[in-house]
Amino acid sequence: MTDQQQRILESIPYGMNNAVSNKRLALMTGVSARKVQSEIQQMRLKNKLIASTTHPPYGYYIPTKGEETQAYINQLRSRVNEQTQVLTMQEYAACGEQMGMGVVG
């Protein structure tokens, strides 16, 4: 883990109720908001459990309970399912375009 990743990880609070926004993490660590997102993604890919929530209090947190972890996993699954549906429809639309059949909803 890089020093930058370590700083970010140490700044992420425990518990969903203490979630901290990307912008706040950037201010706390002196790293750009974009870099914070990138580093968190890299840490997640290296098996670090860093959850996030799209509901208040919005932001990143380290789960402290099984329920928090499960809620985060469910949220991820939901996003993946939605993106899979969009991808499927976009592939369908692209196929129609290539065949000269403009797809109209």
CATH of the domain at 48: 1.10.10.10
Cβ–Cβ under 8 Å, residues 21 and 53:
no
The pLDDT, as a whole number, for residue 95 is 86
**Domain count within the chain:** 1
pLDDT digits (tens, 9 = 90+) for 78-91: 999 999 999 999 99
Both tokens of 54, joined, read 């799209």
Look up residue 1 and give its amino acid. Answer: M
Q: Quick check: 31 and 51 in contact, CB under 8 A?
A: no
Which range of residues forms the domain containing residue 43? 3-98
Q: Is residue 103 part of a domain?
A: no
**pTM score above 0.85:** no
Q: Which residues of 61-96 are buried (b: 16+ CB within 10 A; e: fewer)?
A: bbbeeeebeebbeeeeeeeeeeeeeeeeeeeeeeee
Position 104 in a domain: no
